[in-house]
């Protein structure tokens, strides 16, 4: 490079990008890159708040200030739409979840010669960063890291251990894979661990799936103020504030709808929030999530009809969709190509599409646009703060 270049944006994987298209690791919008390749900090470069940043793979953008983070999340979503030549009616304000707000995470652990290490893995590596600080986890989850380190040091073999943590209504739901509870002493130690730290549930996976060893009362997660049984490994929105934004958009856009088809409904995150003013079909392929949703709806007489259906292999057909006044879908990262094709072929006029992958969403959105829909509104959402993982809500009308 023969001259100084300015970083004009942050790329999808977190590198800074110059006007000429060069990718510079560790740079953010507004930085300059000198001819020798060094980075001169600009107005949006800040000191990362976590001592592990740069090594831990949990965050990629702690060196970017709030404005740069907002712009990154916004650009990822808006550019995905523009890449498909989709006209956007309104881009709503981007939502970023605050620090220390993640309510679920999977940590990794390994017994060492002296003690154990517990944390996230390094970027592009299986090595574990021994977590002494975390700026993304809810403090209640982070408080369990040190006790977990002692548990692994005392009762694990020198093989990998995975620990899934989720904040439920009753406290922390903890599932451990890689520790074998052989003998009375090990079993008592695990029960003491659960009791001493007031866990809502402790499960062990010894190669045959999670088995509950401690659950004083049935574990639930409240969705739309409805307590729903929380199956092992069930999907939840990563932050409560992010979930509230998604729900508020969906409720506003579907106001007045008498019937809603909630597709890829999971435990009923959207279904229970919408059921106060509409009858809702909640279609989900995961049996445990479907049963939990169905049980919660039936036990409280809520107008949610839970349907067990694989919408990838057997999407709701256009004739079925046309019976509803509106559709909401929140598919996995791969999107919903087959289901969206049926929505496009139906007579439905309102669609709310929530996505965790702007690329697959844009592909599906193009299908709706080609079928006569208009993208009325689009909101970028960054629930995974300081991460390159981006989400969105969108509203289509025809």
Residue with tokens 């019937």: 259
Q: Report the relative pairing of strands 326-329 and 350-355 from DSSP bridges.
A: parallel
Dihedrals phi, psi of 155, to nearest 5 degrees: -130, 0
Rg, C-alpha atoms of the chain: 23
Taking phi first (over 0 means left), then psi (-120 to 50 degrees means alpha), and beta for anything else, what does residue 208 get? alpha
Q: Is 356 a catalytic residue?
A: yes
Diameter of the chain measured on Cα atoms:
71
Residue with tokens 């106060």: 276
Which positions make up the binding site? 237, 264, 284, 330
Strand partners, 212: 203
Q: Which of 56, 134, 293, 356 is catalytic?
A: 356
Alpha helix positions (H), 261-356: 269-274, 287-300, 318-321, 337-345
Which positions make up the binding site for S-adenosyl-L-methionine? 237, 264, 284, 330
- Dist CA 141 CA 200 (whole Å): 12
CB under 8 Å, gap of 24 or more: what pairs does 138-141 form?
A: 138/100, 138/101, 138/102, 138/103, 138/167, 139/100, 140/167, 140/172, 141/102, 141/103, 141/105, 141/165, 141/167, 141/172
- Dist CA 110 CA 190 (whole Å): 17
Closest CA to 359 of 331, 326, 327: 331
Structure tokens at 206: 């010894």
- Dist CA 343 CA 366 (whole Å): 12
Q: Which residues does the annotation mark as catalytic?
A: 356
């Amino acid at each position: 490079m023969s001259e100084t270049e300015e970083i004009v944006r942050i790329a999808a994987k977190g590198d800074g990008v110059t006007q000429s298209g060069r990718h510079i690791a560790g740079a953010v919008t507004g930085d300059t890159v000198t001819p020798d390749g060094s980075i001169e900090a600009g107005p949006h470069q800040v000191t990362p708040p976590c001592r592990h940043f740069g090594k831990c793979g949990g965050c990629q953008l702690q060196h970017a200030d709030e404005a740069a983070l907002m712009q990154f999340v916004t650009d990822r979503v808006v550019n995905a739409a523009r890449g498909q030549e989709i006209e956007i009616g309104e881009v709503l304000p981007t939502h970023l979840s605050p620090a220390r707000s993640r309510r679920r995470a999977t940590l990794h652990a390994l017994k060492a010669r002296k003690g154990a290490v517990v944390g996230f893995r390094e970027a592009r590596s299986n090595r574990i960063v021994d977590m002494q600080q975390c700026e993304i986890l809810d403090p209640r989850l982070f408080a369990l890291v040190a006790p977990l380190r002692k548990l692994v040091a005392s009762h694990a073999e020198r093989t990998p251990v995975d620990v899934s943590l989720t904040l439920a209504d009753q406290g922390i739901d903890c599932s451990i894979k890689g520790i074998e509870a052989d003998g009375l002493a090990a079993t008592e130690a695990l029960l003491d661990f659960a009791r001493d730290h007031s866990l809502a549930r402790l499960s062990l996976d010894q190669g045959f799936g999670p088995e509950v060893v401690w659950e004083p009362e049935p574990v639930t997660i409240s969705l739309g103020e409805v307590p729903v049984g929380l199956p092992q490994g069930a999907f939840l929105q990563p932050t409560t504030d992010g979930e509230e934004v998604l729900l508020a958009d969906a409720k506003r856009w579907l106001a007045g709808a008498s019937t809603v088809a909630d597709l890829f409904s999971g435990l009923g995150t959207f279904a229970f929030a919408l059921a106060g003013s509409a009858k809702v079909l909640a279609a989900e392929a995961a049996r445990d999530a479907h049963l939990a949703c169905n049980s919660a709806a039936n036990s409280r007489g809520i107008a949610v009809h839970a349907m067990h259906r694989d919408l990838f292999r057997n999407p709701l057909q256009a004739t079925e969709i046309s019976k509803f006044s509106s559709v909401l879908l929140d598919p996995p990262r791969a999107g919903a190509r087959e289901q969206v094709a049926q929505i496009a072929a139906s007579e439905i006029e309102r669609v709310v599409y929530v996505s965790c992958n702007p690329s697959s969403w844009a592909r599906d959105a193009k299908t709706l646009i080609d079928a006569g829909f208009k993208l009325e509104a689009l909101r970028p959402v960054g629930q995974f703060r300081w991460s390159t993982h981006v989400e969105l809500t969108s509203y289509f009308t025809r």
